[in-house]
Amino acid sequence: MKNSTHVYNPHVSVDCVVFGFDGEKLKVLLIERTIEEQNFSDKKLPGSIIFEDEDLDEAAIRILNELTGLKNIYLSQFHSFGNPQRTKNMRDKNWLEKLTNMKIGRIVTVGYVALIKISRKIIFESENTAANWYDVSSLKSLRLAFDHNEIADTALEHIRHKVKSEPSMLFELLPRKFTMTQLRNLYDAIMGTTSDVRNFKKKIMQIEGLEQLDEVQKDVPYRAPRLYRFDKKVHKKNTRKLYS
């Protein structure tokens, strides 16, 4: 994390909530933070204080890359968190002061969110950290550092809101051809719901551009399910907007 040509701004940080879908479960990318002298390790979102001379978007992209190896991820700013108490926990404070060699007071953090297909397993290790995917459903039982539980929850709410207003974004997380079960799993994972199989199909098929193919899934050891695809162009053309 040290960089000889840049000066840290210890008052503002960015934190990245990267959600990933592996075809079955919704995951979130967390950093394992080890505090040697206390023989203690816990988890946090990938994030850090910004450089004095970089913009917020730049900082988010740089820091996510440094901590997880991820590149070319579309990170979008969703909310800033500034509770004066958020950096008061001594364990969090000591860890960050050691990492940055700076005195840490109050930090306002700018939250970024991304939603990606998990195409490869991320295990990235640097001197102080390792990055891994964790089930979103397990977040409740993990105590993350700082206010990172609140940040992750708010990011998930943000994604839910986006899916509600633009459900077609779901298809970006699926393979080009997918089964109805994959689509339902994805929807339920994000929304935190358990949809009824028939009702879900009936409702989701109202999305313009979603079509059933004359193909079935191959190489499955059971009755092969039908495949579907989503045609973005048809969707755009036929989606009736209340206002144009």
E strand segments, the chain: 8-21, 26-35, 40-44, 47-51, 76-81, 108-117, 124-125, 129-135, 210-216, 226-230
Please identify, using beta-carbon distances, which residue of 32 and 54 lies nearer to a second copy.
54
Q: Which stretch binds a second copy (CB under 8 A): 39-47, 48-56, 116-124, 129-137?
A: 48-56
- Report in angstroms the alpha-carbon separations of 196 from 102, 169, 172, 199: 53, 21, 23, 5
Please say which residue, 164 or 226, places its beta carbon nearer to a second copy: 164
As a whole number of Å, the end-to-end CA separation of the chain is 48
Per-residue mark of binding to a second copy, 97-126 (x: CB under 8 A): ---------x-x-x----------------
Size of the site for a second copy (CB under 8 A): 35
Separation CA 176–CA 173 (nearest Å)? 9
DSSP H/E element including 157:
helix 148-165
Contact between 84 and a second copy per CB under 8 A: yes
Q: Which of 34, 65, 80, 128 binds a second copy (CB under 8 A)?
A: 80
d(CA 54, CA 66): 15
Stretch that binds a second copy, among 5-13, 26-34, 125-133, 140-148 (CB under 8 A): 5-13
The C-alpha torsion from 217 through 218 and 219 to 221, rounded to 10°, is: 50
CB 12, min distance to a second copy, A: 5
Instruction: Determine if residue 117 is left, alpha or beta; phi over 0 gives left, psi from -120 to 50 gives alpha, anything else beta.
Output: beta
Q: Kindly tell me which of 52 and 125 has the beta carbon lying closer to a second copy.
A: 52
> Taking CB under 8 A as the rule, does residue 212 contact a second copy?
no
x-or-dash string of contact with a second copy, 157-176, rule CB under 8 A = -------xxxx---------
Residues of the shown chain interacting with a second copy in the complex, contacts defined by CB under 8 A = 9, 11-12, 50, 52-56, 59, 77, 79-84, 106, 108, 110, 164-167, 187, 191, 193, 195, 203-204, 206-207, 241-243
